[in-house]
């Protein structure tokens, strides 16, 4: 296995993980073509990304980096498309849990995307029509109110968090995309369960997860106006350096990093697991331009 480096990880394993991490970063670049260049995340927000490094890309004023804060603490980070009104991806650290739903909180919005608010953390949607002051930059509850086919699907799912505040923080519309109901409660939910069980059982350290989308140009419309982009695919990738090397072979082969994608449709929507390299290749072949 080669010489040991600090932390007990072999040089070979460490090199392999770094290579996987670079592939993951490139995967995100493929998806987030024309990403906005902003000031660096603060150290506390970088903790949700492997080696504290956010993906890099080109400039686009429609894409905003959000450090998602709730109850005075950062909970995860999101790259948000203010034109299509959906997150391009959410990046978070996995927390061991039994997967039980334990919170009942109102849906929230992100004041940081509003030009009229100085608040720096997510807030419950106000009553009445006050949301019109910020709906140009983000989705609002009304956008999802008359959709029969689609549900609000989390990118950072509640079941991958343990503390009540971390679970509650996932209920912001800047963390959800329109998912076909059958896909959301079927193959994608099964995938979230699978990842939770795998990381619960075999990841010994911190697991970094990134979940995102590709789009095809279809939109949810409200009052004859395009409002929310409908994902064509959802994809996800994780990285866990410190894992159980005595895990069953079929699980051990899915460390230190692995990935998956699924078609956001009623039929033929199975979620396929694959290497990060395979996900990168898939996104290169199935992504033809900016998410706009």
Q: 256: cis peptide before it, omega within 30°?
A: yes
- Give the pLDDT confidence score for residue 219 in this predicted structure: 96
Q: In the predicted model, what is the mean pLDDT of the chain?
A: 83
- Give the pLDDT confidence score for residue 58 in this predicted structure: 37
Distances in Å between the Cα of 278 and the Cα atoms of 20, 25, 158, 271 are: 11, 14, 27, 14
- Higher-pLDDT residue of 203 and 29 is 203
pLDDT average, residue stretch 244-259: 97
Residue 177: partners with Cβ closer than 8 Å, 6 or more residues away = 86, 87, 152, 153, 155, 213, 228, 229, 230, 231, 234
Whether residue 191 contacts residue 31, with contact meaning beta carbons closer than 8 Å, is answered with: no
Whether residue 43 contacts residue 67, with contact meaning beta carbons closer than 8 Å, is answered with: no
- Higher-pLDDT residue of 31 and 11 is 31
């Amino acid at each position: 296995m080669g010489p040991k480096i600090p932390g007990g990880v072999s040089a070979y394993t460490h090199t392999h993980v770094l290579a996987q991490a670079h592939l993951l970063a490139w995967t995100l670049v493929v998806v987030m073509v024309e990403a906005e260049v902003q000031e660096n995340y603060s150290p506390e927000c970088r903790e949700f990304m492997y080696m504290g490094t956010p993906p890099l890309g080109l400039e686009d004023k429609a894409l905003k980096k959000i450090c998602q804060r709730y109850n005075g603490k950062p909970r995860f980070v999101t790259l948000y498309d203010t034109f299509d009104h959906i997150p391009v991806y959410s990046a978070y650290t996995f927390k061991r849990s039994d997967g039980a739903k334990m919170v009942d909180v109102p849906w929230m919005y992100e004041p940081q995307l509003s030009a009229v608010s100085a608040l720096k953390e997510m807030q419950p949607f106000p009553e009445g029509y006050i949301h019109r002051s910020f709906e140009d930059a983000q989705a609002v509850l009304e956008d999802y109110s008359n959709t029969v086919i689609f549900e609000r699907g989390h990118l950072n799912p509640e079941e991958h968090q343990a503390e009540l505040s971390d679970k509650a923080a996932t209920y912001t519309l800047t963390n959800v995309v329109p998912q076909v109901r059958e896909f959301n409660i079927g193959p994608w939910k099964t995938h979230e369960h699978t990842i939770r069980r795998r990381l619960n059982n075999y990841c010994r350290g911190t697991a970094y997860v990134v979940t995102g989308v590709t789009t095809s140009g279809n939109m949810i419309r409200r009052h004859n106006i395009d409002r929310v982009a409908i994902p064509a695919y959802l994809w996800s990738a994780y990285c866990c350096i410190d894992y159980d090397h005595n895990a069953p072979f079929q699980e051990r082969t899915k460390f230190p990093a692995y990935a998956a994608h699924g078609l956001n449709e009623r039929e033929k929507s199975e979620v396929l697991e694959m290497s990060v390299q395979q996900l990168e290749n898939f996104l290169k072949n199935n992504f033809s331009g900016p998410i706009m």
